[in-house]
Chain A
Amino acid sequence: MEKGKANIDYQNKVITIRGLEKSFGDFEVLRGIDLDLYQGENLVVLGRSGTGKSVLIKIISGLLKADKGEVNVLGCNLNTITEKELQELRVRIGFSFQNSALYDSMTVRKNLEFPLVRNQKGITRTEINTSVERVLDAVGLLHTINQMPSELSGGQRKRIGIARTLILNPEIMLYDEPTAGLDPITCIEINDLINEVQQNFHTSSIIITHDLTCAKSTGDRIAMLLDGQFQRVGSFDEVFSTNDDRVKPFFEYNFIQ
């Protein structure tokens, strides 16, 4: 399942990170991250549990603050950004949470409408319905529109979570473990969905995963987070053509059993 050719603009960077550091108490999680995300690219971030992958994308979306280093997203410097600018920037970034984070007191329809009506003033009822149906159709779950999140399966919740971010037409998508805990067939569906989103919505994405099939089928480039830094970055084959004991087990566990 090799990935097809994507339409990437290597002249144009949507995210630049230089020397990013982040600690919690004495625990240094990120120790000098350098990263570029190009326009239209899918970048896969691999790494062991607890290496700070979720922390990295939370910093990119402004949920956490960096201790040190420069983070530039869509031309905005996150160190100097104001509250209002951050809110405007966030509309342009889609964040798919590790546990979906659907609003469980609302139906699927209300979940999708929530960000839409609050960000687009004066939008009409017809426009809202059209948008909701368009993104639900894109994730193939139009029939769940009136269900509550508690009535959905894990895979469906993930897809509704993705739909909820797509409704604002984001320029950047951040996926936190989109295939974790799902069966192989659903995983393939999610992988295809990520690629369709890249093509149809023209997004640049960061995909966090442990799943190398997902990495291989969605990633244009792979970055491996080791000891708080990106130590191996490149195509799938480049990253795994190594004897590094910290890298090899990922490959062996996923493909040689």
Chain B
Amino acid sequence: MSTINKSPVPAAKKGPSFKTRLSNAFVTLYNINNFILRFFRQAFVPPFEFKEVMRQCYETGVRSFTLITFTGFITGLIFTKQSRPSLANFGAQSWLPSLVSIAIMRALAPLITALIAAGKVGSSIGAELGSMRVTEQIDAMEVSGTKPFKFLVCTRVLATTLTIPILATYTGFIALLGGYLNVSVNEGTSYTTFMEQVFEPLTFVDFVASLAKAIVFGFTIGIVGCYQGYYSTKGTEGVGKAANGAVVTAMFLVFVEEILIVQIAGWFR
């Protein structure tokens, strides 16, 4: 009995101090770094989990396909519609396709795709691996002499890195389709003229930069989702945290990378 009432006044609950938080942040950074190194050490050494990579590519595509189609189309349509009045002020409606194309191909398509994939794919990777960690499935793989990192993490990261550039290209064309629809209704532009004007302002640097962006975004979403899930702390609460953490961190990093890559691409123009 006496042990139960040992401390009648519970100690005041204090959050961790600034110093511990800062050191925790560095520890996390170090761990993520190790995680990425481990990916590169294991992903390209045989035996390859080819079938599982394909399955994950399919999952990545299927999970985000509908939302990307919808968002891409609407974005193209609305962007074109909203840009028209400004151009009309200068009597420059004929530049509309070029403007739309630059906006979509340089910036919007990879970014929209990445944000949607972070929400749909990143969170489900986090939740999936998180629940596998919590229910000891990852431990079970480990003790049976198999490599869970390779089977679970490498395959998913490869899948997002491969699939998101493809999805981003798709988003670009769907958005252009939205733009074309608007232009053809209002200006009566033909499809060929529209397409000519679309590709005219785009340079090789634009394509490379967009592709690089999409690859980096895909890699980020995969790594962040896997990291959050793979090291989620025990308990069902950890699964939710992993899913949520995957989305928030991935979106934040996507924006940071967007800024960096735009800067770098600017030097080549």
* Residues on A facing B (Cβ under 8 Å): 58, 61-63, 87-88, 90-91, 93, 95, 97-99, 101-105, 114-115, 118-119, 121, 164-165, 168
Q: State which of B136, B143, B144 has its C-beta within 8 Å of the C-beta of A99.
A: B136
Tell me the count of chain B residues lying within 8 A, CB to CB, of chain A. 16
Alpha-carbon gap, A164 to B142, bound state (A): 13
Q: State which of A91, A101, A114, A168 has its C-beta within 8 Å of the C-beta of B139.
A: A101
Residue B29 CB within 8 A of the other chain: no
Q: Interface digits, B141-183 against A, CB 8 Å rule (1 contact, 0 not)?
A: 1111111000100000000000000000000000000000000
Residues of B within 8 A of A97 (CB): 136, 139-140
Q: A101-B136, A119-B146 are in contact. List 16 more A-B contacts (CB 8 A).
A: A63-B139, A87-B145, A90-B143, A91-B145, A95-B140, A95-B143, A97-B140, A101-B135, A102-B137, A103-B132, A104-B135, A104-B137, A105-B128, A118-B146, A168-B144, A168-B145
Residues of A within 8 A of B141 (CB): 103, 114
Residues of B within 8 A of A91 (CB): 144-145
Q: How far is the CB of A97 from chain B (nearest CB, A)?
A: 5
Contact A63 B145, CB 8 Å, known A99-B136, A101-B136, A104-B137? no
Residues of A within 8 A of B146 (CB): 114-115, 118-119
Alpha-carbon gap, A63 to B147, bound state (A): 13
Residues of A within 8 A of B128 (CB): 105
Residues of B within 8 A of A119 (CB): 144-146
* Residues on B facing A (Cβ under 8 Å): 47, 128, 132, 135-137, 139-147, 151
Q: Which residue of B lies closest to A61 (CB)?
A: B143
Q: Which residue of B lies closest to A89 (CB)?
A: B145
Residues of B within 8 A of A114 (CB): 141, 144, 146
Q: Which residue of B lies closest to A98 (CB)?
A: B136
Residues of B within 8 A of A164 (CB): 140, 144
Decide: B143 and A93 in contact? CB cutoff 8 A.
yes
Decide: B136 and A115 in contact? CB cutoff 8 A.
no
Alpha-carbon gap, A45 to B105, bound state (A): 65
Q: How far is the CB of B16 from chain A (nearest CB, A)?
A: 15
Q: How far is the CB of B54 from chain A (nearest CB, A)?
A: 15
Q: Which residue of B lies closest to A105 (CB)?
A: B128
Those 3 A-B pairs whose CB atoms lie nearest each other, nearest first: A115-B144, A91-B145, A101-B140
Q: State which of A58, A95, A99 has its C-beta within 8 Å of the C-beta of B135.
A: A99
Residues of A within 8 A of B132 (CB): 103
Residues of A within 8 A of B137 (CB): 101-104
Alpha-carbon gap, A65 to B137, bound state (A): 19
